[in-house]
């Protein structure tokens, strides 16, 4: 339940990001429908995220407490990678609160808060790849790959393509950064979470390593 609800949360978050990127570039689709799907998927993330947090605390293996779930980077269990999940949650809460049921801020401020979804999604992805006793599970790795490809392709195909007409240098640079980041993520996964000894390197307490 812990791991599966976390993966569903990541996939829903990915769908929200992809729709957010592409919704202005789909003129043949009713924009009200796209906006409704985007909003409802964003809200659906919340219950799955709550299930993920609650089951992580209930699960006796990692011995997580409420403090670990609300304060980033304080956990004795893989503190940095678990903390990224907490940071992602706070960023996501900020986006939802400022956007639903109605936009509460000036558009310029709202846009910058909304753009933090990229950071929230990236932090959730790394959290998924680096945390958990089954980080090398083939199914979860394939789902994470689908998430990366989905966001990268939609960003390049729609957001970058739109921006190139007005500011080609800026968007060429952003596209290059996105591709390099995706490749760098792949190199890190191969040399980190997929390697033997990742449990110790990621900050798993020694007594938990012995208990497996």
Give the model confidence (pLDDT) of 24-51 as tens digits. 666 566 666 778 888 899 999 999 999 9
Tell me the C-alpha to C-alpha distance, in Å, between residue 34 and each of 21, 99, 103, 139, 153.
11, 16, 17, 29, 19
**What is the per-residue pLDDT for 144?**
94
HSE toward the beta carbon, residue 192, CA cutoff 13 A: 16
Residues 130, 81 contacting (CB under 8 angstroms): yes
Q: With beta carbons less than 8 A apart as the criterion, state whether 78 and 86 touch.
A: no
Question: Rounded to an integer, what distance in angstroms lies between the CA atom of residue 22 and that of residue 9?
Answer: 20
Query: In terms of Cα–Cα distance, which of 129, 135, 138 is closest to 186?
Result: 129
Say whether pTM exceeds 0.85: yes
Do 57 and 2 form a contact (C-beta atoms < 8 A)? no
Domain ranges of the chain: 2-211
- Give the mean pLDDT per block of 10 residues along the chain (212 residues): 93 94 69 80 95 94 91 94 96 88 75 90 95 82 95 92 89 95 96 91 84 52
The answer to whether the beta carbons of residues 86 and 70 sit under 8 Å apart is: yes
Interaxial angle between packed helices 2-22 and 138-154, expressed in degrees from 0 to 180 and rounded to the nearest 10: 10
């Amino acid at each position: 339940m812990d791991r599966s609800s976390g993966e569903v949360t990541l996939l829903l978050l990915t769908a929200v990001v992809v729709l957010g990127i592409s919704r202005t570039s789909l003129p043949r689709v009713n924009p009200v429908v796209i906006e409704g799907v985007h909003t409802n998927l964003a809200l659906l993330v919340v219950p799955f995220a709550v299930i993920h947090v609650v089951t992580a605390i209930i699960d006796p293996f990692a011995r997580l407490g409420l403090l670990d779930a609300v304060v980033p980077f304080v956990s004795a269990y893989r503190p940095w990678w678990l903390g990224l999940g907490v940071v992602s949650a706070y960023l996501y809460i900020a986006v939802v609160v400022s956007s639903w049921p109605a936009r509460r801020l000036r558009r310029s401020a709202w846009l910058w808060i909304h753009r933090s979804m990229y950071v929230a999604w990236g932090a959730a992805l790394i959290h998924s790849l680096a945390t958990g006793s089954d980080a090398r599970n083939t199914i979860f790795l394939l789902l994470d790959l689908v998430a990366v490809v989905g966001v990268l392709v939609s960003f390049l195909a729609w957001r970058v393509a739109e921006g190139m007409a007005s500011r080609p240098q800026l968007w060429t640079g952003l596209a290059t950064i996105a591709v390099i980041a995706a490749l760098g993520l792949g190199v890190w996964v191969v040399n980190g979470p997929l390697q033997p000894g990742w449990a110790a390197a990621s900050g798993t307490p020694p007594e938990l390593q012995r208990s497996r």
